[in-house]
A and B are shown apart, each in its own frame.
Chain A
């Protein structure tokens, strides 16, 4: 059961934050409110009147709009086409494109949301796509706007702008339900807060509740928000990337002349808004994507041209960013997933057969060691929660002798308890002398884990800065802005500003 007797009241003109961990049931609740899912029990009242929503059509008619976490825009359509879709105006049987454009421009001017009606959506950055989504909802005359994790894909500055837009909408009399798990944003914008845990409302809070109390309410126990770790003791240079260029799937340059080095016993964090080449950089290192130019060396051994299997076996651990696609085979058991990298080697098997006893024994050990919550090692990975699935990946990748550990979005879709655990393991890996590369679009995560932060923007490393760098500055760097502040910080970190090359 994703939602268990939840009560929620939203007043006109307020920002109501819905706070909860991944998988707590926030999106399920909102999808019922938007007519995408039907409740088994209970009712929805709009302006005191009971309504049933069989489909989003009914919800839109009742004045409810929703901006989904994964944008609901047709990539090959223009902005105006996307906004008109479903509520098209026609003239003599044909689409009235001029009117559609005019409406977009009107709404965009009225609420201060700049969008270009003729731009094709797939060419727009995510921040602009989100504005399109909001304009789309507003052209439908909504009274209540649901924003599902809207800040997950934004830079800190874009988040600021979004919060300002939300404020403006409330002043115009609209109500907003703001779904998030980020405490800082909740405190910055919300008028009231409802906390959901495991499908139940566990409390309401006011925005001046301290962060640690909110966190405790959300998780159900006291949590440490910081990662405790000693100072790094960097050793020899393990990973050396020089002049790396990589294309993305569309053949567009995604990594554009990156130089990077990571030493044994340090964590290098790559910060940046999603889609600035981080994915392609990591895939190139792992041999999953062709490196057009440049070298990738681990302990002076060139990885370019090696297969992924060879790379993994040369002492590199890899947590891929898309867990369900690249991290685990969901239909396989926990035990099988734990030996996906070594199934053809003793003691787990050889070229002809598997050794189930050894696989099972190893699995029991890992399940214990990595606190993987499963009914048995034989259960399919798909039955595990996101956090426990991720622990399976981490456990597998850490059970080889490592020189370099690469974690891409290591805690995406993972509950707070598992986040603490995974962060602890990453720091432990660093402390035993492994070089660690952490890529995350959550700035908090990068700051908490990294000993040095490389900010990536449009395929380049703009600067390498210490984790003590002020947030605004990191935010500006993530938006591609290098000012005198950033420039003065970069050399102090012992590296030149790669962006000016």
Chain B
């Protein structure tokens, strides 16, 4: 090998064509600046110059954070513009996500200042209401995370919700036990998950098609049984006991956080604990490493002796348990009885939270909370007689997902093998 001693490795010189100026951060900057402008000008102009009160209690009384509505709307709008400008200038790239969140938060606050001016918004009620709406979304999205990270797309979350809600009401009433209800809800979710798993993993049917069909199946079964069984005799079949709220003494007295987190029911804790458990499980445990491998490159997992299909079955079924429990939330916590199609698309919002949260447990949590907040705010606005139609806020989860999937908020890359059945060559 002559010439090696005198040879030089070619230095990569500066690229000839300039790197694209409108990179991800600058595109984000444009977006944040635009919503900031909307906030400062539109919200600022519309907001009456009256005090907006954000009370720490559940009503208009007591301690409150107060700000002049018009001033606040403009102030937070300007903050959003500033955040957008920082992104646009290409500064502080390390803190990109933080600045992005700050900008969006400022926009939301500006909106609130406009809406609340001359009125009040009870903070505890808003936060706990958002969390309550978010709990089934969190559970549903976690079920999706489990499936998709191991390579099985689960669009049947809605169906699992419905089955969970139905069985929770039915068995809960018949056994007059909320725990029996919760247990059968999990079974209902597993039932749908099992059909999904067998058809998708064993029989290689298109997973999205199976998911949609299962949603319709669950809607049909529960609707039929509701009309034939529950409606004629609600007392014996559709009056489940409600889940008890447990109050942890001491911790429950912390302002705002206390009543929200420490004076609530089991499912709220379950959802939050599961977020942490799945996060550490996926990133730190043997099961998690194998699950991710199976979802990214099943053949590679197979060649090191991992049972690809077995692991997929396991994860989809655990997902069924979690989504079923999420369904129980509708009957055992929210309303106290089953109703035809009562989940009304929540499963699809959970799916949106999964994607918006980029297939991670904490992402799913954040997205679910955001969507829960949007729904809560929609209710508040319609009660408060706001000029903004509440349907606009209900659209938010879908809108946010479209923005996320379109790649405007960073590149969304799901597990590489999601949706692909594994067949040995």
Contact = CB atoms under 8 A, between A and B. Distances in A.
A57 B290 CA distance: 14
Given A256-B16, A292-B17, A94 B305 contact: no
Interface in B9-29: 9-10, 12-13, 15-17, 20
B125 interface: no
Nearest to A247: B20
A75 B299 contact: no
A75 B285 CA distance: 19
Contact of A36 (B7, B16, B290, B424): B424
What secondary structure prevails in chain B residues at the interface with A? Answer: loop
B425 interface: yes
B297 interface: yes
A481 interface: yes
Contact of B8 (A256, A457, A458, A482): A482
Given A81-B289, A85-B293, A293-B16, A74 B300 contact: yes
Contact of A56 (B4, B293, B305): B305
Contacts of A256: 15-17
B17 to A, nearest CB: 4
Contact of B10 (A73, A473, A481, A484): A481
B304 interface: yes
Contact of A73 (B7, B13, B300, B307): B300
A476 B16 contact: no
B3 interface: yes
Given A95-B289, A473-B3, A482-B8, A60 B16 contact: no
Contact of A86 (B6, B17, B285, B304): B304
Given A85-B306, A243-B16, A484 B6 contact: yes
A86 B303 CA distance: 9
Interface string A89-116: 0100111000000000000000000000
A481 B15 contact: no
A489 to B, nearest CB: 11
B299 A72 contact: yes
B416 interface: yes
A466 interface: no
Given A472-B1, A482-B10, A75 B297 contact: yes
Contacts of B286: 88, 90, 95
A360 to B, nearest CB: 35
Interface string A118-161: 00000000000000000010000000000000000000010010
A476 B304 contact: no
Interface residues of B, number: 37
A253 B19 CA distance: 9
B300 A72 contact: yes
B220 to A, nearest CB: 36
A55 interface: yes
A493 interface: no
Contacts of B292: 74, 76-77
B302 interface: yes
Contacts of A476: 3-4, 7
B396 interface: no
Nearest to A136: B304
B94 interface: no
Nearest to A485: B3
Interface string B279-303: 0100011100110110011011111
A309 B307 CA distance: 46
Interface string A274-288: 000000000000000
A84 interface: yes
A178 interface: no
Contacts of A481: 4, 7-10
A405 interface: no
B290 A95 contact: no
A152 to B, nearest CB: 18
Contact of B305 (A60, A251, A458, A485): A60
A472 B304 CA distance: 37
A460 B17 CA distance: 13
Interface string B297-327: 1011111111100000000000000000000
Contacts of B305: 55-57, 60, 86-87
The 10 closest A-B pairs by CB, nearest first: A86-B304, A483-B7, A57-B305, A257-B16, A72-B300, A245-B17, A483-B3, A88-B286, A481-B7, A72-B303
29 contacts: A34-B303, A36-B425, A37-B425, A56-B302, A56-B305, A66-B303, A72-B297, A73-B300, A75-B296, A77-B293, A85-B290, A85-B293, A87-B305, A93-B285, A94-B285, A95-B284, A157-B1, A160-B1, A256-B15, A256-B17, A257-B16, A292-B17, A476-B7, A480-B9, A480-B10, A482-B10, A483-B7, A484-B3, A485-B3
Interface of B: 1-4, 6-10, 12-13, 15-17, 20, 280, 284-286, 289-290, 292-293, 296-297, 299-307, 416, 424-425
Given A74-B293, A462-B10, 13 more contacts: A31-B425, A36-B424, A68-B303, A74-B297, A90-B286, A95-B289, A251-B20, A257-B15, A472-B3, A480-B10, A482-B7, A483-B3, A483-B7
